[in-house]
Amino acid sequence: MAKATASNGKGIMIATRETTKKKKKKKKKEKKKKKKKRAVTRVLEITANVFSSAFFRRASSTPLRAFSLPIAAAASFQPKPSVAPSLSPLRITGQARGMHSKLVIIGSGPAGHTAAIYAARADLKPVMYEGFLALGIAAGGQLTTTDEVENFPGFSKIQGATLMDNMRAQSEGCGTEIISQTVGKVDISSRPFKYQLHPMGDDNTLEDEVHTADAIIIATGAKARRLDVPGEDKYWGNGVSACAVCDGSLPLFRSKPLVVIGGGDSAVEEAVYLTKKASKVTVLVRKDALRAGKANGRRLSTHPKVEIKYNHVATQILGEEGTPKKPGLMTHLRIKNVKTGKEEEIEANGLFYAVGHEPATQLFKDQLKMDSEGYIITTPGTTETSVEGVFAAGDVQDKKYRQAVTSAGSGCMAALEAEKWLVEQDSEITNGLEAENQAERSQANGVVPEYRSNPLL
Ligand SMILES: Cc1cc2nc3c(=O)[nH]c(=O)nc-3n(C[C@H](O)[C@H](O)[C@H](O)COP(=O)(O)OP(=O)(O)OC[C@H]3O[C@@H](n4cnc5c(N)ncnc54)[C@H](O)[C@@H]3O)c2cc1C
């Protein structure tokens, strides 16, 4: 390369030409770079469009790989209040076409995950909607709201959330596609079944895409009713519970005075169950009589460890202050006689609500047979609902046992039944097509085929 020197005019000229050449080259390089950058951006844009297309196997605008909220985050997240009743449950009229799946599982408790494990192992490629704080419950279901579980076989003691994390990992490992959205609307009036999703964190609207499925397993669970007694949130899991059979045996309740709220048969069952471990069980009944059956009422009122307080309600849950690391435990309950207005404080290390459950069946109202309390009715001994191809498992169809292990058991049944049903559908279609082909061949040979309106018949 020529070097420009002050004594050499030619040299200067050469140098200037060289510099101009260099500049031009640099400009060209930059232009090329810019062009390349633009091309990359375009590719990215196209990719993004493809990924957000309704035909990509994912639920619309959410990340492909779903995530579950840690319980603490879930507890502090306040979803917008649901206005589900304004969304009519029937006849989906969304605009865009979504994805189609052979089997969709709605709900992510023990029933949903067990169904998913079985279905995935049977190559049904199940898609699970685990919910985004559906009903205010984190993905994973009711067990994520409790501390220790001591009655799930295989684990003498395990955190509820850990157990559900394990189940989730197992169903995903088997091949289940898990989507962290809540199903907001379902139409099971014709096949394939149709459904739409709520955008994440917004239960007031529905996404445009209408997804379809050949079969559905409903595992949306139930929610124990709470009473919103002051102190309830603070001592939930630290004295306050909604399941005596689940939590009653925990060390914090052993040989301690406990309180049950409720006057129905389940309240009696729970109270009697608690007497095995507690020093005393007080039952608060809002009215002046029990709603429970006579035999149950007698069982309760004659029990030496039980005191029934009629016309009483709880007004405040009291206990230790605790620290963020070690939360305080409940120690007392303030109660009120609704007839006299008199208040008193009683010693209580545990408070168990037995005021009923709400099954998460709003989505299927007027579309499936349900009992007076909204539980889905299944054919006894099966998970079949009143609509062929729709199966129900877990607490959503069981108001008697309501346990993780019974839910898991019915989830297994639902997957096996769904698999059998899908296979039958496939073979019916294959038989129908074969018959059609046979008819065509016969027609070609001049034989008039028997008239049939439906190849499946
Ligand atoms: C405090 C407490 C402690 C318990 N402890 C025990 C115990 O120690 N041992 C035991 O065996 N049982 C225990 N249980 C009972 C046990 O948790 C339930 O029986 C079991 O979780 C029911 O499982 P499931 O699969 O039917 O539904 P759930 O666990 O209720 O899960 C249903 C899930 O589906 C989601 N969902 C609902 N609607 C939709 C929708 N539209 N779209 C997407 N997702 C949706 C919900 O948000 C939820 O995450 C306890 C229950 C409670 C409340």
Q: For ligand 1, pick from 162, 216, 246, 368 the residue to mutate: most ligand atoms within 8 Å of CB.
A: 246
Which residues, at least 6 apart from 227, have a Cβ–Cβ distance to it below 8 Å?
261, 314, 353, 355
**Ligand 1 midpoint to CA 237 (Å):** 15
Rounded CA gap, 56 and 424, in Å?
A: 28
Residue nearest to atom 6 of ligand 1 (CA): 246
Q: One of 247, 395, 398, 412 is an active-site residue; which one?
A: 247
Rounded CA gap, 204 and 184, in Å?
A: 9
**Ligand 1 midpoint to CA 144 (Å):** 8
288 is catalytic: no
**Ligand 1 midpoint to CA 146 (Å):** 10
Rounded CA gap, 319 and 149, in Å?
A: 23
Q: One of 187, 214, 243, 398 is an active-site residue; which one?
A: 243
Rounded CA gap, 348 and 259, in Å?
A: 6
Domain-wise residue ranges, the chain: 1-58, 96-224+358-429, 232-355
Q: Do domains 96-224+358-429 and 232-355 have the same CATH topology?
A: yes
- List pocket residues of ligand 1, CB cut-off 6 Å: 106-112, 129-131, 134-135, 137, 139-143, 145-146, 149, 151-152, 182-183, 219-222, 224, 241-243, 246-247, 360, 363, 394-396, 402-405, 407
243 is catalytic: yes
Angle, nearest 10°, between helix axes 110-121 and 160-173? 20
**CB distance 94 to 209 below 8 Å:** yes
Structure tokens at 48: 């993004």
Give residue for tokens 């030619």.
10
Residue nearest to atom 27 of ligand 1 (CA): 221
Structure tokens at 242: 């909604």
Closest CA to 229 of 218, 213, 240: 240
Q: For ligand 1, pick from 243, 247, 397 the residue to mutate: most ligand atoms within 8 Å of CB.
A: 243
**Ligand 1 midpoint to CA 142 (Å):** 3
Q: Work out the end-to-end distance of the chain between its first and last CA atoms, rounded to an integer number of angstroms.
A: 88
Angle, nearest 10°, between helix axes 265-275 and 294-301? 30
366 is catalytic: no
Burial 398-424 (b: 16+ CB within 10 A, else e): bbeebbbebbbbbbbbbbbbbbebbee
Q: Which ligand 1 atom minimizes the distance to the CA of 402? A: 19
Strand partners, 330: 319
Give residue for tokens 């076989």.
153
Q: For ligand 1, pick from 87, 114, 142 the residue to mutate: most ligand atoms within 8 Å of CB.
A: 142
Q: One of 187, 246, 395, 398 is an active-site residue; which one?
A: 246
* CA neighbours closer than 13 Å in the CB half-sphere of residue 92: 30
Number of other residues whose CB lies within 10 A of the CB of residue 130: 29
Q: Which ligand 1 atom minimizes the distance to the CA of 393? A: 26
Rounded CA gap, 345 and 231, in Å?
A: 14
Rounded to 5°, angle at Cα 44 from 38 and 50: 140
CATH number, span 96-224+358-429: 3.50.50.60
- Position 27 scores a pLDDT of 74
| One-letter amino acid for residue 134 of the chain | A
Which residues, at least 6 apart from 271, have a Cβ–Cβ distance to it below 8 Å?
244, 260, 281, 283, 300, 303, 306, 354
Superfamily of domain 232-355: FAD/NAD(P)-binding domain (3.50.50.60)
Pairing of strands 177-179, 158-159: unpaired
The per-residue pLDDT string of the chain (457 residues; one tens digit each, 9 = 90 and over) reads 333 333 344 444 555 566 666 777 777 777 666 655 554 444 343 333 333 332 223 454 343 333 444 433 443 343 333 333 334 444 565 567 789 999 999 999 999 999 999 999 999 999 999 999 998 889 999 999 887 899 999 999 999 999 999 999 999 999 999 999 999 999 999 999 999 999 998 999 999 999 999 999 999 999 989 999 999 999 998 999 988 988 898 899 999 999 999 999 889 989 999 999 899 999 999 999 999 888 989 999 999 999 999 999 999 999 999 888 888 999 999 999 999 999 999 999 999 999 989 999 999 999 999 999 999 999 999 999 999 999 999 999 999 999 999 999 999 999 999 999 999 998 777 676 676 777 677 666 665 544 444 334 3
